[in-house]
Amino acid sequence: MKQQNGEYITAHLAAFGGEEKFVDFFTPIPEGSVLRVMDSGDGPSSGYASALSNAYDVAKEQGSMNGSDPKAGLLVFCGGMAIAVGDQLDSGLTSEGFSTKVDGLPMMGMTCFGEQACLPESKTNVQRNLSVGCVLFG
């Protein structure tokens, strides 16, 4: 769902079809919203390697690390992404782009359903699906 400022709130289907021809999402969709169908590209087959790497970069750049190296990290992985990636999750975690950044860093991960996230531009907290986040501890 595209916001007026150009930011997207990602959402995936909860149900589709039926006699009433409905679409239901795991995220609230305000009336009048413009929905866009997006493509996951090579995400599922690569274990979402670039999403993991980007989540780390954003946490390091936009967090309060003040240029210091993190001491530990926590990955928060959307349940829908976990289902989509299936057995390929290890491909993302061991990809060169991600593993070189977290080499030697104690890292814990979790999968959640109904994740919350702050939109970077508007600084508003929204429910998002199909997301991965990273928290770094200094």
pLDDT at residue 8 tops 70: yes
Q: Which residues have a Cβ under 8 Å from the Cβ of 74 and sit 6 or more positions away?
A: 107, 108, 109, 110, 134, 135, 137
What pLDDT does 83 receive? 82
Contact 70, 55 (CB under 8 A): no
- Sole residue written with tokens 């959307």: 78
d(CA 25, CA 16): 9
Band of residue 114 on the pLDDT scale cut at 50, 70, 90: low
Contact 134, 74 (CB under 8 A): yes
Most confident of the following: 42-46, 47-51, 117-121: 47-51
User: For residue range 55-87, what is the model confidence (pLDDT) as tens digits?
Assistant: 999 888 877 777 788 999 999 888 878 888 888
